[in-house]
Amino acid sequence: MKNTFDFDQNPTLTDNYDRGPRWFIPGYDASHAMAAVLLRDRIGEVGRILVIGAGGGIELSVFAREASGWSFTGVDPSAEMLSRAKHKIDEAGATERVSLIRGTAEDVPREAFDAATAFLALHFVPDDGARLRALREIHARLKHGAPFLMINGCADTKSPRFAEDQRLNAAFARRNGAPEEIIDAVLRTQRENAHVLPPEREEALLAEAGFRDLRLFYVGMWVFGWIASA
């Protein structure tokens, strides 16, 4: 899975990783709470979950506290972010239930996971065949019918609305107290490093990768979250 953004080389964003999403994304914590509810509804109290883009450990720590019978494999290309994830996992008392892999989905052994998530990760993978391959690699590691939850920034970057989305995103972050240098860095990342796609293209890629029963479970301005079945 090709990822064109390297958090190890962007300390400004890495150092503010915990606060950053909460500055910029409406309902960020609620999206994780909803995801936890959906996972419990689909897999119950026991299951193995693949977490794509696990660096930072936010999803892992939320999910680990949700059900003591869940175990996790977290994968991320950033060594620094995986180190931060390990710290959060240790704080959550879930060290024994989590294994971490530096890399991408294709570096994960082809085991049959009960569920998978990819939050704010796949929109750094370009839609040149790499995004579809990444989704297929995730699908190949899931049991038949297993849920996959994905959250991505979505937009048509060629549309005039993209500039409006960025302006409103900046205004929201500014209202939440984000420093101007962080706002500038995030907007620049959105323009230069993220490969955001319109929602309908995201849904088409999920279907092409073999996922079915797509349902939208979250929208925060221009950030969308889906649940689908393998």
Structural Rg of the chain based on CA atoms: 16
Report the b/e string of 117-129 with b at 16+ CB within 10 A.
bbbbbbbbbeeee
Contact 34, 218 (CB under 8 A): yes
Tell how strand 147-153 and strand 223-229 pair up.
antiparallel
Compute the CA torsion angle 107, 52, 20, 127 (nearest 10 deg): 80
Q: In 3-state terms, what secondary structure has residue 3?
A: coil
The CA distances from residue 80 to 28, 33, 72, 116, 136, in Å, are: 22, 25, 19, 22, 27
Give domain status of residue 52, yes or no: yes
pLDDT of residue 217: 97
Instruction: Provide the 3-class DSSP secondary structure of residue 160.
Output: helix
d(C-alpha 28, C-alpha 34), whole Å: 10
> What residue type is assigned to position 79 of the chain?
A
What CATH code is carried by the domain that includes residue 168? 3.40.50.150
193 and 124 Cβ atoms separated by less than 8 Å: yes
What stretch of H or E contains 150?
strand 147-153
Quote the pLDDT of residue 16: 58
The answer to whether residue 195 sits within a structural domain is: yes
Average pLDDT by stretches of 10, the chain with 230 residues: 43 62 94 97 98 94 95 95 94 95 95 96 96 98 98 92 92 96 92 92 98 97 96
Predicted confidence at residue 7, as pLDDT, reads 42
Maximal C-alpha separation, the chain: 48
CA distance 195 to 16: 21
**DSSP type of residue 94:** -
d(CA 51, CA 48): 10
User: Among all chains, which residue has been given the structure tokens 């989590």?
Assistant: 98
Question: Which alpha helices (DSSP H) does the chain contain, by range?
Answer: 11-15, 20-24, 28-43, 58-66, 79-91, 130-139, 160-175, 180-192, 199-208
Is residue 2 in a domain? no
Range of the domain at 139: 7-229
Enter the pTM of the model. 0.91
Supply the pLDDT for residue 19: 81
Evaluate whether residue 50 is within a structural domain: yes
Per the structure, the count of domains in the chain is 1
Q: Which phi and psi (to 5°) does residue 80 adopt?
A: -65, -45
1, part of any domain: no
